[in-house]
Amino acid sequence: MSDKQQLSPKEREERNRRRADRFWEAFLFTENGKPKSSLIIYTFSLSLVFTAVYILCYELSIRLFTGLLSSLPAFFSNLVIALASSAAGTALCCLPHRFFTDKRLVFGGHLWLCLYVAAVLVIMLVIMGFSPDYGAFLIFCCWFLLPPVVLGTAVSCRLYLRDRPENNEREPEPEWKKYVSRR
């Protein structure tokens, strides 16, 4: 018998509550007022900014290119708009990588976007099932969600791999820093 079958509903609820508590503890603050896991908070916040940037790039691309590309078939017109907006959004979203000292931030923000897209696809599959409506939703995803997420994640991954520190060992902290309050 598996673990799920052996646990009573009360034990399962307790186990799930402990897991949830461990997850949410990452967002709490230490006694000094600093976040426990700043990487999670910063990348999550960046992912929200990246989402807004990609939406604005799509909006601008649609406004600029629709009239110019009206003579092309719809497929090619949509392709140009999707690629142009994804490229512009990726350039804007990956620009802060040059200025951040922690080179994981931009890549982490794009990983959150991958998580969002996967969650949306699964949730819509649960809601719609394998119906023709889900097929239409997948077409929407292929034009509006996948190009910026795939391109942004690929570029930010490449930037991260290029700029990550080769030596993961930190220099030993000087003795005097142990006794100084760094607020």
* 181 or 6, greater pLDDT: 6
- Residue 24, pLDDT > 80, answer no
CA distance 69 to 81: 9
- Residue 132, pLDDT > 90, answer no
Q: What is the pLDDT of residues 10-22, one digit of tens each?
A: 888 888 888 877 7
Give the range among 28-32, 89-93, 160-164 with minimum mean pLDDT: 28-32
pLDDT number for residue 32: 66
* 176 or 134, greater pLDDT: 134
Give CA separation, 147 vs 24, 58, 153, in Å: 31, 11, 10
CA distance 22 to 110: 24
The pTM assigned to this predicted structure is: 0.71
CA distance 110 to 59: 20
pLDDT number for residue 168: 55
CA distance 179 to 89: 45
- Residue 160, pLDDT > 80, answer yes
pLDDT number for residue 1: 45
pLDDT number for residue 33: 64
- Residue 67, pLDDT > 70, answer yes
Q: CB of 46 within 8 A of CB of 106?
A: yes
Q: CB of 84 within 8 A of CB of 65?
A: yes
Average pLDDT, the chain: 85
pLDDT number for residue 5: 58
* 166 or 116, greater pLDDT: 116
